[in-house]
């Protein structure tokens, strides 16, 4: 598609946690640039994200990533149609850096401002590489802070049918990784270690929520893993870490896949997507693909680079908000505990 006056170019900014990111997205689906400055190395020393440090790192990196995003897309601020930014949920100090920057740029360049919900961004990552994907469809959102099962009724319109009652899936990965000494970030490290393990070595529980077939619970599983580790330490037995994490991961994946497939079948949808940082987990992707094929469901998933936090997904979500006329005022503020579907 050639650049023409009817193209909508979104400059998107994402700073909700420990990635400073900027992107230029054309018409909601074509990524012209996607620049990410990660802080993982900075926070690894502390075993997790330190909010105050994250905010300072965002301040240092944000102008640079925006300049690079514009340069890589070969556009100037004048060419941009609107500025989109994540305003929640996330770490309040981190969010404020992105929101303040987006407001300043939009105001100075006289461009419309669009506030984007971070989780809606994750869902929208699926639109980037799947031109045929349009609502309605079922989406499983799995990240460090969220585990939701939703029906995407329309662009930016969601019905939550399931959620975690305690820990998010990504949170459980981080805690188990820390407990067995794999360190931070837990998700990728568990995924890698589990490849050398037997997923059926230890039978861990699959948390069910009575009367809520689509809800998740991971605290019981996490406790079972920690109890297993403590028992082995007390009896002086060696822990086979690959087997342990493979068995833990198998339990999480089984819980996620079984509920997502059940929801698609019960609600009569033939399209199922996954989103969020944990959606890059290789075992989850493989199990979901196999289960979807068995059940005649079309499976959609973003490339790993679009699963973890990035600004391209924010640009995709912002485009559909722009088309609906959902623009933000200059009073846009960071909302750290913004719920899915809230504006």
- What whole-number distance in Å separates Cα of residue 267 and Cα of residue 309? 29
Q: Give the pLDDT confidence of 211-231 residue by residue, as tens digits.
A: 899 999 999 999 999 999 999
Residue 42 has a CB neighbour count (10 Å cut-off) of 15
Q: In the sheet that 137-142 helps form, which strands lie side by side, from edge to edge?
A: 157-163, 147-154, 137-142, 271-275, 298-300
What confidence score (pLDDT) does residue 144 get?
81
- What whole-number distance in Å separates Cα of residue 194 and Cα of residue 123? 27
Q: Taking 90 as the threshold, does the pLDDT of residue 1 lie above it?
A: no
Which CATH entry fits the domain spanning 135-302: 3.40.50.150, 3.30.420.40, 1.10.150.300, 3.40.190.10? 3.30.420.40
Q: Taking 80 as the threshold, does the pLDDT of residue 338 lie above it?
A: yes
Of 157, 167, 156, 163, nearest in space to 141 by CA: 163
Of 180, 127, 129, 169, nearest in space to 317 by CA: 127
Q: Give the pLDDT confidence of 124-151 residue by residue, as tens digits.
A: 999 999 999 999 999 999 988 889 999 9
Neighbouring-strand partners of residue 37? 20
Of 4, 27, 3, nearest in space to 318 by CA: 27
Provide the residue ranges of all domains of the chain, joining segments of one domain with +.
9-124+307-324, 135-302
Lookup result for tokens 């070969």: 74
- Band (pLDDT 50/70/90 cuts) for residue 156 is very high
Query: Is this prediction's pTM over 0.75?
Result: yes
Q: Tokens at residue 195, please?
A: 């490849």
What confidence score (pLDDT) does residue 2 get?
43
- Calculated CA dihedral for residues 107, 109, 110, 112, nearest 10 degrees: -80
- What whole-number distance in Å separates Cα of residue 121 and Cα of residue 275? 9
- What whole-number distance in Å separates Cα of residue 258 and Cα of residue 134? 23
Residue 45 has a CB neighbour count (10 Å cut-off) of 9
**Count of residues making up the chain:** 343
Q: Which CATH architecture has domain 9-124+307-324?
A: 2-Layer Sandwich (3.30)
Q: Give the pLDDT confidence of 39-57 residue by residue, as tens digits.
A: 988 898 888 889 999 999 9
Write a three-state SS string for 178-224. Answer: HHCCCCCCHHHHHHHHHCCCCCCCCCCCCCCCCCCCCCECCHHHHHH
What confidence score (pLDDT) does residue 5 get?
64
* Region 323-329 average pLDDT: 97
Q: Give the pLDDT confidence of 158-206 residue by residue, as tens digits.
A: 999 999 999 999 999 999 999 999 988 899 999 999 999 999 999 999 8
What confidence score (pLDDT) does residue 4 get?
59
**DSSP-H helix ranges across the chain:** 40-44, 51-73, 92-109, 118-129, 169-179, 186-194, 219-235, 241-267, 282-294, 304-307, 312-324
**3-class DSSP state of 16:** coil
- What whole-number distance in Å separates Cα of residue 18 and Cα of residue 278? 16
Does the fold of domain 135-302 match that of domain 9-124+307-324? yes
- What whole-number distance in Å separates Cα of residue 67 and Cα of residue 56? 19
């Amino acid at each position: 598609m050639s650049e023409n006056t009817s193209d909508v170019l979104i400059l998107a900014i994402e700073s909700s946690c420990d990635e400073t990111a900027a992107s230029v997205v054309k018409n909601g689906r074509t990524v012209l640039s996607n620049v990410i400055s990660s802080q993982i190395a900075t926070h690894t020393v502390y075993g997790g994200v330190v909010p105050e440090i994250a905010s300072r790192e965002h301040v240092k990196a944000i102008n640079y990533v925006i300049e690079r995003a514009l340069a890589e897309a070969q556009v100037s601020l004048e060419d941009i149609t609107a500025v989109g930014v994540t305003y929640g949920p996330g770490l309040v100090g981190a969010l404020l850096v992105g929101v303040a920057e987006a407001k300043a740029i939009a105001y100075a360049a006289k461009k419309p401002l669009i506030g984007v919900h971070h989780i809606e961004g994750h869902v929208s990552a699926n639109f980037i590489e799947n031109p045929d994907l349009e609502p309605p469809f079922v989406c499983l959102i799995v990240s460090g802070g969220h585990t939701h099962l939703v029906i995407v009724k329309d662009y930016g319109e969601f019905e939550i049918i399931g959620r975690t009652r305690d820990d998010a899936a990504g949170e459980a990965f981080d805690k188990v990784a820390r407990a067995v000494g794999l360190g931070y970030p837990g998700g990728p490290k568990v995924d890698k270690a589990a490849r050398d393990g037997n997923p059926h070595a230890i039978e861990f529980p699959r948390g069910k929520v009575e009367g809520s077939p689509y809800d998740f619970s991971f605290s019981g599983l996490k406790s079972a893993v920690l109890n297993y580790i403590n028992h082995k330490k007390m009896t002086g037995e060696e822990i086979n870490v690959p087997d342990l994490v493979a068995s833990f991961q198998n339990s999480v994946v089984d819980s996620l896949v079984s509920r997502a497939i059940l929801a698609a079948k019960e609600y009569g949808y033939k399209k199922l997507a996954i989103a969020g940082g944990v959606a890059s987990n290789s075992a989850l992707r493989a199990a979901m693909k196999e289960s979807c094929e068995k059940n005649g469901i079309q499976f959609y998933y973003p490339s790993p680079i679009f699963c973890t936090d990035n600004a391209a997904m924010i640009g995709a979500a912002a485009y559909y908000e722009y088309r609906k006329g959902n623009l933000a005022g200059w009073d846009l503020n960071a909302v750290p505990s913004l719920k899915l579907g809230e504006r």
